[in-house]
Chains A and B, each alone.
Chain A
């Protein structure tokens, strides 16, 4: 009886089995991991075009307007608040009144219809998040949002992945600052962060809340 297979099939089959395992397993896992962590999935670092080219770097940076001037409810509510057009008009009824860039703002003020701002930091609906408690316990604005005072157009500085949340929730001493410094941009801790952080955790009764139901209620 003639041979059914050529002699080389022994080698070929061994190579194909091993390479199938390595290629499918390894490359698949690596791709999956890269995809899940990519800015495509998380929107990290992606600049969003807004209906009005509002520059945080100009207003919060060069002008030095406090965060809370616009984001009024950040200390008291879950949501930090997107300011109404009236807040813009506090100044812009007086300055740059003829600016073309601001026509949409004036139109919104006249018609009483909101400017359709694009939400940059959008957590999934199954996550409960409250700004006020973070601000009260000494999590600086820049800790999560980055140097907003240097961003012409705001983008998401961090991934907002769950592991990013847990990084702080499990060991808050790495990031907390005195509550008086929460709104400071470019804050430098006067002593070692871990020493100060450990003290602040104790002083301000910061709990390590890492139960599922802390955020998934």
Chain B
């Protein structure tokens, strides 16, 4: 019997694990959510609401396929409406997962151990939602495979000089690496579940998914090698994917898009929104599943710090946009910025500044960072703000074309909203299923944090 050990309080706020945890309690606590715990009414209600919301996507996509993109509010000059706004928003949300799992792993940040699994799952579900939008926006989605360079009867390749093609590779690589990384990380835990399971069905399911993991030293060596390699592969993706997404805009010549600040500013924005989304999801989950000892206030505090730091980079990006519209001395740039602030969509711009620049400033205060309900509200506001940012970038840049005769307005229709909220439903449905059927916190990585695991080299 292993005695519960009190962990020493670390620098910062509180320990990484709550008091009284040991090897057995960690495994029981996390695997119990999947294996033993009864399906709660709250979970069923949550899944039901998300599932109903997801029907909006089904309906919206169905109507879209029948009637074409005309059911959306897009027009000329605003050819990119909600679809692209949502695409960028979702793909940005995914970035926190990759940052947590890859970069923080390479930097030996052990606090990532209790949030990486969840964040990686969130990444994959967000990428799934994101990937849908360009396809839906295509007009003839059944020809989406034309995006890939495959031997075809037309004897042509996709336009490799177009950032939209780079996007296909960036996003599909990202989805693949995220999936593999997530699954490789799951294997030891799936084996734990297999060993703890008592029902035959659970044993066989988790056993098949564990791919014959026996936890031998050789397995662990290979596991460590694989996860380091995957982390190395995924690290550039944290930067490259959203850089390429920003190229979709920056490579064009539209005032408000054609900016060199876009790649770093988009990457920071992506991590910013991603961490906000991790907070939005983790705070209720740790509450309802009694995981406050595993996802402690210290984790929330750290994530809030990352949110603040990336939020400041984003704020710098906004300031540079403003500065360069003046410094470029281009009439069109100047007009675009003036129109963005005081034009018909001015309200959205100021809402975005409030959500993305003003709100995160509260995170300078340690009291705010450790106050869980306030942190939850701030994370929600940042999520909204980052959506508004993409809306402002896409719509206000397009709706005032170079020629006043081509000016227009964008009004989203009910089908725009149906598809948007539908993907939120899809995302939440997947999250609910994930926390029910898979260990949402990495069991073996938490066990590594325990003092019992700290094997010291004998002093000679």
Assuming the A-B contacts A4-B203, A10-B212, A33-B151, are A162 and B194 also in contact, with contact meaning beta carbons closer than 8 angstroms in the complex? no
B154 is an interface residue with CB less than 8 A from chain A = yes
Kindly provide the distance from the CB of B199 to the nearest chain A CB, expressed in whole angstroms.
11
Contact call B204/A4, Cβ cutoff below 8 A = yes
Contact call A36/B153, Cβ cutoff below 8 A = yes
A112 is an interface residue with CB less than 8 A from chain B = no
B63 is an interface residue with CB less than 8 A from chain A = no
Residues of A within 8 A of B150 (CB): 29
B81 is an interface residue with CB less than 8 A from chain A = no
Residues of A within 8 A of B203 (CB): 4
Assuming the A-B contacts A4-B203, A4-B207, are A162 and B212 also in contact, with contact meaning beta carbons closer than 8 angstroms in the complex? no
A42 to B212, CA, bound (A): 49
Which of chain A's residues has its CB closest to B153's CB? A161
A167 is an interface residue with CB less than 8 A from chain B = yes
A88 is an interface residue with CB less than 8 A from chain B = no
Main secondary structure of the interface of A (DSSP, over half): helix
Residues of A within 8 A of B195 (CB): 1
A5 is an interface residue with CB less than 8 A from chain B = yes
Contact call B154/A162, Cβ cutoff below 8 A = yes
Contact call B153/A162, Cβ cutoff below 8 A = yes
A205 is an interface residue with CB less than 8 A from chain B = no
Residues of B in contact (CB 8 Å), total 15
Contact call A37/B153, Cβ cutoff below 8 A = yes
A163 to B156, CA, bound (A): 8
A177 to B153, CA, bound (A): 26
B155 is an interface residue with CB less than 8 A from chain A = yes
Assuming the A-B contacts A4-B204, A4-B207, A5-B207, are A163 and B154 also in contact, with contact meaning beta carbons closer than 8 angstroms in the complex? yes
Kindly provide the distance from the CB of A21 to the nearest chain B CB, expressed in whole angstroms.
14
Q: Which chain B residues (202-222) contact chain A, with CB distance < 8 Å?
A: 203-204, 207-208, 211-212
Q: Which of A1, A13, A167 interacts with B212 by CB under 8 Å?
A: A13
A166 is an interface residue with CB less than 8 A from chain B = yes
Residues of B within 8 A of A36 (CB): 152-153
Contact call A166/B156, Cβ cutoff below 8 A = yes
Contact call A13/B211, Cβ cutoff below 8 A = yes
Q: Which of A10, A33, A161 interacts with B154 by CB under 8 Å?
A: A161
Chain B residues at the A interface, C-beta cutoff of 8 Å: 150-156, 194-195, 203-204, 207-208, 211-212
Among all A-B residue pairs, the 7 with the closest Cβ atoms = A163-B155, A162-B154, A161-B153, A4-B207, A166-B155, A4-B203, A36-B153
Chain A residues at the B interface, C-beta cutoff of 8 Å: 1, 4-5, 9-10, 13, 29, 33, 36-37, 159, 161-163, 166-167
Further pairs besides A36-B152, A163-B153: 18, Cβ < 8 Å: A4-B194, A4-B204, A4-B207, A5-B204, A5-B207, A10-B212, A13-B211, A159-B153, A161-B153, A162-B153, A162-B154, A162-B155, A162-B156, A163-B152, A163-B155, A166-B154, A166-B155, A166-B156
* 25 pairs, CB–CB < 8 Å, chain A vs chain B: A4-B194, A4-B203, A4-B207, A5-B204, A5-B208, A9-B212, A10-B212, A13-B208, A13-B211, A33-B151, A36-B152, A36-B153, A37-B153, A161-B153, A161-B154, A162-B153, A162-B155, A162-B156, A163-B152, A163-B153, A163-B155, A166-B154, A166-B155, A166-B156, A167-B155
